[in-house]
Amino acid sequence: MAGVRRGGRPAVIGDVARLAGVSPQTVSRVLNERPNVREETRSRVLEAIRQLDYRPNLMARGLVRRQAHTIGVISFDSVLFGPASTLLGIGRAARAAGYGVTIATPESFDRGSIVEAMADLTSHTVAGVITVFASQTAATSALLSLPKGLPAVAVEAAPDDSVPTVRIDQAEGVRMAVEHLLRLGHSTVWHVSGPRERMDAQTRIEAWRATLERAGHPAPQVVPGDWSAESGYQAGLELAEGQGVTAVFAANDHMALGLLRAFNERGIRVPEDVSVVGFDDIPEAGYLIPPLTTVRPDHEEVGRRSVETLLRLIDGQDDDAGDSQDAAVADVAVPFVVPTLVRRASTAPAP
Amino acid sequence: MAGVRRGGRPAVIGDVARLAGVSPQTVSRVLNERPNVREETRSRVLEAIRQLDYRPNLMARGLVRRQAHTIGVISFDSVLFGPASTLLGIGRAARAAGYGVTIATPESFDRGSIVEAMADLTSHTVAGVITVFASQTAATSALLSLPKGLPAVAVEAAPDDSVPTVRIDQAEGVRMAVEHLLRLGHSTVWHVSGPRERMDAQTRIEAWRATLERAGHPAPQVVPGDWSAESGYQAGLELAEGQGVTAVFAANDHMALGLLRAFNERGIRVPEDVSVVGFDDIPEAGYLIPPLTTVRPDHEEVGRRSVETLLRLIDGQDDDAGDSQDAAVADVAVPFVVPTLVRRASTAPAP
DNA sequence: CCGACAATTGTTAACGTTGCCATTTGAGCG
DNA sequence: CGCTCAAATGGCAACGTTAACAATTGTCGG
């Protein structure tokens, strides 16, 4: 029952108006739930909309309102568990608020392709932008190339204070992980890090070091990784050679998984000989050999909060005369999402 | 160097025209790379564009052209490795073709929220739709509710032949896995399946059974799972009780991972006592204990092909007078992406 | 029953771009 | 040198919607 159309074209507001016997403006009022429409008129219009299967043309609406009702998301590493979850949270929250989501995935991390992706988004098509895990120098600095006045929120990493940033409280998560190991009696904790140039990797390194030092333990050399299981495996082989390694904190679960494999291969038992803690609580974490103790950040919540923050920014902008834009940015609270520690079988008292 | 603007508002085509001393129409011609513009004029316009940092308003353009240059993607389970990879492939391919991507993630699998998500997309905002892994009955049938005439492509699962579908050649992948195990001398192969109501799960079940029967081996009862590591673990515990289980094919790597864990817990050695094969080749597969033999489908390629197919559909529609739409659909080749078998340490000759 | 005022509805003009057609300019040729 | 024709450019209208204002209708007190 597709309804009557003019020559097969989708119905437009004028068709609805004609069928309902009112002006387009009245239809518009019904669509936008504005007051001062008689109940009887409203239902007549709604019936016409139903009959014609009418859908407002969002491009026309966006054009006249000068607002796209769409959020642009620039997403890196969107295959990874964390970013993918955040993306999901963003999508759901945006849709709930009546916003569409368009995503741009830069080809690579170099500044050029990032700026290009942003340009794509910003052709007046989005009301604001969220960058997800742009945690690399080139990426964060590209954030600054966004048109002045376009609301933006960064997830996890931003170049400076000009962009409100929603983050996992990584330092707190790392602290939980490291202190958990120390409480088990380990004399120190080794760290397999993410790629050095990534901000979140850097943050975790620093938090790890700080926690150790605060507790009066020496911080060993960082074993560098790149988030991948492969790099965790390599790190594990390296650590297996070392003496006195009894506790390792990996900057994410994938690397922890590689560690487990390497230790297993070398006949090192987890957790009897070495305790391992990860970060992310990927869905598989509880089913590794052994089940992995890890830090669980709520990535979806990060997505939700970033949308919330962005929408506040967008609304604030609408209200402003446009001059006190900076004040509005400063006003926006920058939420921290606090992770939890999930204890499983990969950690045990020091041997 | 943001350039001169009228009252802080972003520049529009008229501003560019004025600065370059030409008409808006000429600017438009330059923007759209149309012929018959003098070289000198063109460069003057380009310079003005640069100076003003002008970006065409895509909503205005879409409005007048009656085409959004945007692809809508409806994505389920987008946190999973497969769908996330496909999404990435779609994003890259679309962007390369100059199309934007807007995604909609239905809240759940029920028909209502799916239809709602589609409605969001189809408010004349997208030139076509791709559904990613809508492999559930409600989801695929919802596909049919898309407005007639809106080009659509399904990834992996479609309700019928009206929607071109890009798929992994699952049957072929399953065949590889099962035959690999049979060649190793196993008398039969057990199967831990995905959720029954999912089409791809169903396809894998049937291919598994067919391969066994073709080889003259009995097909044991299916052990049902739900894609999760947890369900694989439960399946593993169950299989560990059974007699004569020497080879298991899991419908995805996550479940295979759960299997490995369960067998390990029960003292069953992989691959000495039982061989395990997965499906997906998640990045971690090579670093499990033991490294997992698995079927590797190229999910990103699926994404690319689906965009390619959709664009062909869109272009075809533009050309048509609109009447031979169905012919155009039938014309579009439906590609099969053939997976490969990755042999690792989780499989060995039958004990 | 009239006037004032609120509620309801309609009219006109934008939003920024491109399609269509008209106009101007320039080149080539008899 | 004038004519033809192509190349280059401009003017106007339209895409579908909403903002701003105008007009109409209805209600209520005096």
**HEC assignment per residue over chain B:** CCCCCECCECCCHHHHHHHHCCCHHHHHHHHCCCCCCCHHHHHHHHHHHHHHCCCCCHHHHHHHHCCCCEEEEEECCCCCHHHHHHHHHHHHHHHHCCCEEEEECCCCCCHHHHHHHHHHHCCCCCCEEEEECCCEHHHHHHHCCCCCCCCEEEECCCCCCCCCEEEECHHHHHHHHHHHHHHCCCCCCEEEECCCCEHHHHHHHHHHHHHHHHCCCCCCCCEECCCCHHHHHHHHHHHHHCCCCCEEEECCHHHHHHHHHHHHHCCCCCCCCCEEEEECCCCCHHHCCCCCEEEECCHHHHHHHHHHHHHHHHHHHHHCCCCCHHHHHHHCCCCEECCEEECCCCCCCCC
Nucleotide nearest to B16 (CA to C1'): C16
Region B181-192 average pLDDT: 97
Task: Chain A: give the shortest CA distance to residue B162, in Å.
Answer: 18
Record: contact B287-A233, CB cut-off 8 A? yes
**Distance, CA of B76 to CA of B83 (rounded, Å):** 7
Q: Are B259 and B235 in contact (CB under 8 A)?
A: yes
Nearest to A57 among B60, B124, B260 (CB): B124
**Distance, CA of B170 to CA of B167 (rounded, Å):** 8
Residue with the bigger pLDDT between B96 and B322: it is B96
Q: Are B232 and B192 in contact (CB under 8 A)?
A: yes
Is the pLDDT at A323 greater than 70, yes or no? Answer: no
Q: Is the CB of A185 under 7 A from strand D?
A: no
Percent of chain B whose pLDDT exceeds 90: 63
Q: Are B195 and B251 in contact (CB under 8 A)?
A: no
Q: Is the dihedral of CA B157, B182, B344, A289 positive or negative?
A: positive
Using CA coordinates, name the residue in chain B closest to A233.
B287
pLDDT band at B3 (very low <50, low <70, confident <90, very high): very low
Residue A233 amino acid letter: Y
Interfacial A residues in 319-348 facing B (CB < 8 Å) = 322
Q: Is the CB of A1 under 7 A from strand C?
A: no
**Distance, CA of B264 to CA of B277 (rounded, Å):** 15
**Distance, CA of A108 to CA of A29 (rounded, Å):** 45
Place of tokens 């949308």: A307
What are the pLDDT digits (tens) for A250-292? 999 999 999 999 999 999 999 999 999 999 999 999 999 999 9
Q: Are A163 and A155 in contact (CB under 8 A)?
A: no
Nearest by Cα to B335 from B164, B170, B176: B164
- Please state the separation of Cα A195 from the chain's center in Å: 19
pLDDT band at B5 (very low <50, low <70, confident <90, very high): very low
* pLDDT for position B323: 43
pLDDT band at B200 (very low <50, low <70, confident <90, very high): confident
Task: Chain B: give the shortest CA distance to residue A124, in Å.
Answer: 5
Is A296 in the B-facing interface, judged by CB distances under 8 Å? no
**Distance, CA of B338 to CA of B324 (rounded, Å):** 31
What are the pLDDT digits (tens) for B177-186? 999 999 999 9
Nucleotide nearest to A14 (CA to C1'): D16
What is the Cβ-side half-sphere exposure of residue A117, based on CA atoms within 13 angstroms?
29
CB atoms within 10 A of CB A222: 18
What are the pLDDT digits (tens) for A185-235? 999 999 999 998 888 889 999 999 999 999 999 999 999 999 999 999 999
pLDDT band at A324 (very low <50, low <70, confident <90, very high): very low
Task: Chain B: give the shortest CA distance to residue A288, in Å.
Answer: 6
Region B281-310 average pLDDT: 95
pLDDT band at B80 (very low <50, low <70, confident <90, very high): confident
Record: contact A107-B92, CB cut-off 8 A? yes
Give the orientation angle of helix A253-265 with respect to helix A229-241, to 10 degrees.
Answer: 40
- Chain B 10-29 contacts with nucleic strand C (CB below 7 A): 12-14, 24-25, 27-28
Nearest by Cα to A156 from A80, A249, A50: A80
Nearest by Cα to A91 from B18, B339, B117: B117
Interfacial B residues in 201-260 facing A (CB < 8 Å) = 228-230, 232-233, 254, 257-258, 260
Is the pLDDT at A295 greater than 90, yes or no? Answer: yes
pLDDT band at A42 (very low <50, low <70, confident <90, very high): very high
Is residue A169 classed as helix, strand or coil in its secondary structure?
Answer: coil
Region B121-145 average pLDDT: 78
DSSP code for A38: -
Residue with the bigger pLDDT between B271 and A161: it is B271
b (16+ CB within 10 A) / e for A69-86: bbbbbbbbbbbbbbbbbb
**Distance, CA of B310 to CA of B333 (rounded, Å):** 11
What are the pLDDT digits (tens) for A173-197? 999 999 999 999 999 999 999 998 8
Which amino acid residue lies closest to nucleotide D20, measuring CA to C1'? A25
Region B263-278 average pLDDT: 97
Question: Whole-number Å distance, CA A26 to C1' D13?
Answer: 25
Region B237-260 average pLDDT: 96
pLDDT band at A4 (very low <50, low <70, confident <90, very high): very low
Q: What is the count of residue pairs from A and B with beta carbons less than 8 Å apart?
A: 160
* pLDDT for position A134: 64
* Chain B residues lying within 8 Å of A278, measured CB to CB: none
Using CA coordinates, name the residue in chain A closest to B65.
A59
Is the pLDDT at B327 greater than 50, yes or no? Answer: no
Question: Whole-number Å distance, CA B68 to C1' D6?
Answer: 34
Record: contact B70-A229, CB cut-off 8 A? no
Q: Are A41 and A55 in contact (CB under 8 A)?
A: no
* pLDDT for position A65: 92
Q: Are B237 and B211 in contact (CB under 8 A)?
A: no
**Distance, CA of B247 to CA of B293 (rounded, Å):** 12
Interfacial B residues in 100-119 facing A (CB < 8 Å) = 100-105, 107, 117, 119
pLDDT band at A73 (very low <50, low <70, confident <90, very high): very high
Record: contact B57-A100, CB cut-off 8 A? no
Q: Are B261 and B288 in contact (CB under 8 A)?
A: no
**Distance, CA of A279 to CA of B276 (rounded, Å):** 27
Out of A119-123, A161-165, B35-39, B297-301, the most confident range is B297-301
Task: Chain A: give the shortest CA distance to residue B94, in Å.
Answer: 10
Task: Chain B: give the shortest CA distance to residue A216, in Å.
Answer: 35
Beta bridge partners of A73: A103, A130
Is the pLDDT at A152 greater than 60, yes or no? Answer: yes
Is residue A111 classed as helix, strand or coil in its secondary structure?
Answer: helix
Question: Whole-number Å distance, CA A39 to C1' C5?
Answer: 21
pLDDT band at A137 (very low <50, low <70, confident <90, very high): low
Is the pLDDT at B310 greater than 90, yes or no? Answer: yes
Is the pLDDT at A147 greater than 80, yes or no? Answer: no
Nearest to A88 among B62, B95, B105 (CB): B105
Is the pLDDT at A120 greater than 90, yes or no? Answer: no
Give the orientation angle of helix B199-214 with respect to helix B170-183, to 10 degrees.
Answer: 40
Is A60 in the B-facing interface, judged by CB distances under 8 Å? yes
- Chain A 46-65 contacts with nucleic strand D (CB below 7 A): 54-57, 60-61, 63-65
- Beta strands A152-155 and A165-168 are parallel
Is B88 in the A-facing interface, judged by CB distances under 8 Å? yes
Is A122 in the B-facing interface, judged by CB distances under 8 Å? yes
Record: contact A149-B261, CB cut-off 8 A? no
Nearest by Cα to A312 from A329, A300, A326: A329
Q: Are B106 and B163 in contact (CB under 8 A)?
A: no
Nearest to A63 among B59, B92, B258 (CB): B59
Question: Whole-number Å distance, CA B24 to C1' D12?
Answer: 12
Lowest mean pLDDT, pick from B121-125, B242-246, B345-349: B121-125
Residues 6+ apart with CB under 8 A from A38: none
pLDDT band at A157 (very low <50, low <70, confident <90, very high): confident
**Distance, CA of A103 to CA of A117 (rounded, Å):** 9
Nearest to A124 among B58, B70, B95 (CB): B58
DSSP letters spanning A42-85: HHHHHHHHHHHT----HHHHHHHHT---EEEEEESSTTSHHHHH
**Distance, CA of B185 to CA of B188 (rounded, Å):** 9
Mean pLDDT (chain A) is: 88
What are the pLDDT digits (tens) for B26-71? 999 999 999 889 999 999 999 999 999 899 999 999 999 988 889 9
* Chain B residues lying within 8 Å of A53, measured CB to CB: 147
**Distance, CA of A177 to CA of A211 (rounded, Å):** 10
Q: Is the CB of A35 under 7 A from strand C?
A: yes
